[in-house]
Chains A and B, each alone.
Chain A
Amino acid sequence: MRNRALGAAALATLTLAATACGGGSTAPSAAPTGSATAAPADKGGGRLVIWADPNRVKALKPFADQFGTENGVSVEVKEISKDNQQTFLTASQQGSGPDVMVGAHDWIGNLVQNGAIDPVNLTEEQKAAFSGIALKAVTFDGQVYAAPYAVENIALIRNTKLAPDAPATLEDMVAKGKELKEAGKVKEILCLPVAQKGDAFHVYPIFAAGGGSLFGTTPSGDPDPKKVLLGSAESVKAFGRLKELGEKGDGALKTSITNENYVATFAGGRCAFLISGPWAMGDVKKGGISYDITPVPSFEGGKPATPFVGVQSFFVAAKGKNKTLAQEFVANYVTNKDVAKALYDADPRPPALTAALQEVQAADADAGKFMDAGKDGFPMPAIPEMQAVWEPFGIAEAAVVKGGDPAEAAEAAQKTIDGSLKN
C-alpha cells in the first residue's frame, strides 16, 4: 500500500510538473479551489494596454479614455511600481506585456537588444516640434525608438534669501556655503546626494567640470562603450577635485547626505544650495522658501558642468497584441500639445514639445530654467553598457569623498568596468 501511495503521488506530481513545464500550449489546470464563474477570455482586438509608473497613471487616464472613445476601443492603464524595465521585458517575452510602455530613454539600448520595442515613425513635422535634445535622446542607432514627452535634468537651486546671487563658479558656491555654515545659518554647505554608494547621476556635472569623462565618442558622436575613460588622467584629476570638495576637504560633499534627506534639508532652509531636478520642486515649494534655478557652475577655468539629461518616453511594444493602435497612440496621439501639458500638470517636468514648453513657461518659469540648465547637457547614454558604469562610478565617487586616493579609486572602477564589459 505504501508503494502505491507513493506511486500515485509521483504520477500526479509528474503530470503536474509536465503541465507546468510544457509552457506553450499547456497550463497548470488543476486549480482545485475554483468556483468563480467562467468568463470568456478577451482576445485583444480593440483593446490597448498601457503600462506606466505610479506617478503617471493618473495623468494618463483621461487621455487614454479619450483616445479609447475616439477610436472605439477600450484602453487600460496599468501601474507598475517595481523594476519596470525588467518586468516589461519579461512580461513581453512571455506574451502578457502591454502595447505601450512608459519609461526613460536610457532603457532604449537594452529594450532594442531584446527586440522588445519597435521604432516609432514620426513625420518631419513632428520631429521638428520636439526640442533637439529630446529627439537626440530617443534616437538610437539612427532610428527613433520612442515619442519623448518630458525632459529632465539637474540644476543648481539656491535659497535666494541666504544666497541672493547665483555663484559664478563652484569655488564661489563653496565659499558662500562655508560662510553661511560658519555663521550658523545653515547646517550643510551643499545639498547633493552622495550616500555610501555614491550617486553618479547627481555628481556628474561636477565630475565633468573637473574634466572627467565616462566614455570616448564614436565618429558619429555617440558614446563609445569600447573606450571607458574613467581611469584616464583627466578623470583621476576630476576625482581629485571631488576629494577636495569631500569630507577631508571642504566638506561640501558628504556620504551622510542621501537621496532621502538632501531635498528635505534644503526645503527646511538648512542648506543654501541644492543640486537636483524638477522632481524636487514639489518639496521645495512646500518648504515655502524663495529660490532660483540656475545651471550648475563649473570650477574656475574648468570644463562646462554638463548634467545628464533624461527623457521620459512612450514606447511601442514589439510583442504587443495591438501594434496598430499602439503606433497610433504613440506617434499620432501623445505627440500632441494637450497631452504633454496634462502630463506636466500631473508631474511638473519640462515638456519635450517646444510648443507645450512655451505655454508651460508662461505660467511657471521653473520649467524654462531647468531646460536652460540642461541645454548643453549630455543625454544619458542609452547603450546597454552604461549599466556596467553607474555602480563602480558611484562607489569610486563615495570612496574619494571619504578621503580615498583618487588614482586608486579611478583605476579600480576602470578595472571593474572593463572586466564586466569583457564578459
Chain B
Amino acid sequence: MPSDVPEAAKPRRAPRPRREITTAYVVTRIAVLAVTAAILLYAVPPLVAARAWIALAVLGVVTAAIVCLYLTRRLIPAKYLIPGTVFLIAFQVFPILYTVSTAFTNFGDGHRGDKQSAVTAIETGSVRQAPGSPEYTLTAAVRGDELVFLLVDPETRRVQTGSGEGLAPLEGARLGVTGKVLAAPGLTVLTAPQAAARGEEIAALAVPTAGGLIKANGLSRAVEGRAALGYDPACDCVRGDGDTWTADEARGYFVNAGGEHLAQGWQVDVGFDNFARVLTNPTISGYFAGVFGWNVVFALASVVTTFALGMGVALALHHPRMRGTRFYRIALILPYAMPSFAMLLVWRDLFNRDFGLVNQLLGLTVDWMGEPVTARFAVILVNLWLGFPYMFLVTTGALQAIPRELTEAASIDGASPWHAFRKVTLPLLLVALTPLLISSFAFNFNNFNAIQLTSEGGPFPAENPQVGATDLLITYTFRLAFGTGGAQFGFAAAISVFIFAIVALISVVAFRRTRRQEEVYA
C-alpha cells in the first residue's frame, strides 16, 4: 500500500486496522490519478500561456490537496464533502463575500471602475473636433515596422503622413475614388482586413498637431481633436473649460468650487456609510415595522399553505387502492414545470378587474391588485399555486420512508385516522422536512420575483409612492437602491446584509428547535 501513496499522505498517527488492497481500491486510486492528470493537462497550458503564475500555483496546491485527500484512507468525510463544496465556494460563497465587501464601497452606477478609468472617460468624452479642421480620409500603412496614417484632406486631396512625431507631406501617392490611398512610395498600404487586425494599434496612434491630436475614427476616417478637459496629477484635479474639479476621495468624484461634480466617478471605500444609510433612511425606518410584519405573514403563509396543500394531496394519493394516481400526479406537478416568470405574468392578468378570468368566472368586479387586502390575498394564492407542487413532490418522497406498518399499528390500536396522522405520520414527516420548511420560509421571505412580477409591491396609497401594501423588505428597499439615478450596488449590499441577518436569526432559532428531534432519529 505505501508504494502508491505519496509521502505527504502517509499516516502519522496510530494506523487503522489494515485492510486488503482490493481491486476496487487500486482501480479507484488509478482513476483519481488519471482524472487529475487529465485536468492538469487541460488546465495548465492556458495558464502558462497567459503567464498566470499565481493561478497556476493555486491550481497546483489545490490539485495536490485533492489528490492526497483521495489517495489516503483517512479524511473520509472530506472525501464526500469536497466535490460539492468546491462548487459551493466558487459560485455561492464567493458571490456572498463579494456582496459583503461591496457594502463598504460606493460601488454602483457612476462609481463602477477605478479612478484611472474615470479620468480616461472624462478626457475621451471631452474631445472636440478642432474648429475648421478637415475630416481626413484615413488609410493605414506601414513604414518598415512602424504604423503610419495616410491622411487625405477631402477638399484639397493633399496627402500627408501622420505618425507619433507629427504630420509630414507625402508626394506621389495614388488615390482611389473614395479618397483612400491605393499606393504610396516607400510605404506598404494595409488592406482592410490587415488594418482591421491591427485595430488596437490604430486606436492607440495619436498624431500630434498644433491644435491637438489626430486620431483614427474607425478605419477610414481621422479627425483632429482636442480634449477640453485634462487631468493634472500635480493637483489631483481635472482642468479645462475655465474650471477646475478637484478629486474628492471620500465621494469618488471630481468636484469644483461650486460643489458640482463631473459625471464620471470612481469606486471608493465608504466605511459603514451604507449601513448608516439603511438605519437612518426615513423611508426604511418609517415603514419598517409594517413591512416586516406583512413580510413575515407572507413568508409564513406561503410555507404553511404550500405545505398543507402539497401534503394534503400527497396523503390523499398515498393509498394502496387509489386509482389514477399517475394522471393526478402529472396534473399536480404541471404548475411547477412551467416557467415561473411566464406564469406569474399570466396570473397577474387573470386577476385584472375588467379583463381577467377570475372576475369573469366568479361574476365579480373586484379590483384584486388594486386594494390592499385583496392584493395580499392574491399574491399568497399565486405563490401557493407556484409552490405546492414542490411540497407535494417532497412529501410524496418522504411518505415512502414511513413504514405503513406504523400507521396501520396505530389504527389497530383504535386511533382515528386523524389521530394516527397527528401522532405518527406528521412527526415523522417533519423530521425529514423541517429544514426544507425553514429554507422555504427563508426563500419566500426574500421572494422578489413573486411580488415584482405580480403586484410590483402595489397598491400604493396616493400619499406615498414608496411603500405599497404587498411590498416585502427586499422589494421596497431595493426600489430605493435601484430606482434613483441608477443602481447603487453598495447600498443594496448593505441592505442585503441586514435582511440576511433578520432571516438568519429567525431560521437559526427555528433550526435550534429541530436539533433535539434530529438526535432522536439520527
Chain A interface (Cβ < 8 Å from any Cβ of B): 1, 4-6, 8-9, 11-13, 15-22, 25-32, 34-36, 38, 40-41, 44-46, 70-73, 86, 89, 93, 109-110, 112-115, 118-119, 121, 123-124, 141-143, 196-197, 254-258, 260-261, 265, 318, 321-325, 327-332, 384-385, 387-388, 391-392, 395-396, 398-400, 402, 404-405, 408-409, 412-413, 416, 419-421, 423
Contacts and interface: CB of A to CB of B under 8 A. Distances in A.
A18 B196 contact: no
Given A71-B219, A324-B216, A400-B462, A93 B82 contact: no
Contact of B55 (A25, A110, A395, A400): A25
A394 to B, nearest CB: 8
A257 B354 CA distance: 8
A35 B193 contact: no
Interface in B449-470: 455-456, 458-466
B486 A412 contact: no
B90 A28 contact: yes
A314 to B, nearest CB: 12
Interface of B: 13, 35, 38-39, 42-43, 45-47, 49-50, 52-55, 58-59, 61-63, 65-66, 68-69, 74-78, 81-83, 85-86, 89-90, 93-94, 97-98, 109-110, 112-113, 117-118, 120-122, 124-129, 135, 191-197, 199-200, 202-203, 216-221, 223, 225, 263-265, 277, 282-283, 345, 349, 352-356, 367, 369-370, 455-456, 458-466, 479-480, 483-487
Most buried by A among B218, B369, B458, B463: B218
Contacts of B195: 71, 324
9 contacts: A32-B86, A46-B196, A93-B113, A110-B486, A197-B458, A322-B196, A325-B219, A419-B282, A423-B484
State the 10 A-B residue pairs at the shortest beta-carbon distance, nearest first. Answer: A72-B193, A115-B121, A328-B218, A404-B462, A420-B484, A395-B465, A399-B462, A324-B199, A256-B354, A327-B218
B99 to A, nearest CB: 12
B223 A121 contact: yes
B370 A196 contact: yes
B124 A119 contact: yes
Contact of A331 (B45, B217, B345): B217
A324 B484 contact: no
A20 B126 CA distance: 37
Contact of A384 (B69, B127, B486): B486
Contacts of A399: 460-462, 465
A107 to B, nearest CB: 10
B487 to A, nearest CB: 6
Given A9-B78, A112-B263, A196-B458, A384 B349 contact: no
A416 B263 contact: no
A354 to B, nearest CB: 20
B221 A123 contact: yes
Contacts of B122: 115
B109 A110 contact: yes
B341 to A, nearest CB: 10
Given A70-B192, A115-B117, A325-B196, 13 more contacts: A4-B75, A9-B81, A16-B90, A22-B54, A27-B52, A27-B55, A30-B63, A143-B126, A322-B199, A322-B200, A384-B109, A395-B465, A419-B283
Nearest to A83: B487
A282 to B, nearest CB: 20
Nearest to A30: B62
A151 to B, nearest CB: 24
Interface of chain A: mostly helix, strand, loop or mixed: helix
Contacts of B282: 419
Contacts of B265: 113
A34 B38 contact: yes
B109 A258 contact: no
A387 B90 contact: no
Given A32-B35, A35-B38, A112-B263, A8 B65 contact: yes
A219 to B, nearest CB: 14
Contacts of A325: 196, 199, 218-219
B94 A20 contact: yes
B74 A1 contact: yes
B89 A8 contact: no
A385 B485 contact: yes
A119 B229 CA distance: 14
Contacts of A143: 125-126, 128
Contacts of B68: 8
A71 B485 contact: no
Given A17-B97, A34-B42, A8 B78 contact: yes
B370 A86 contact: no
Nearest to B76: A5
Nearest to B281: A423
A19 B355 contact: no
B84 to A, nearest CB: 11
A136 B297 CA distance: 50
A4 B74 contact: yes
Contact of A21 (B94, B277, B461): B94
Given A398-B460, A402-B370, A18 B58 contact: yes
A114 B264 contact: yes
B121 A328 contact: no
A258 B462 contact: no
Given A17-B97, A19-B58, A112-B125, A32 B52 contact: no
Contacts of B47: 29
A284 B39 CA distance: 57
Most buried by B among A12, A255, A405: A12
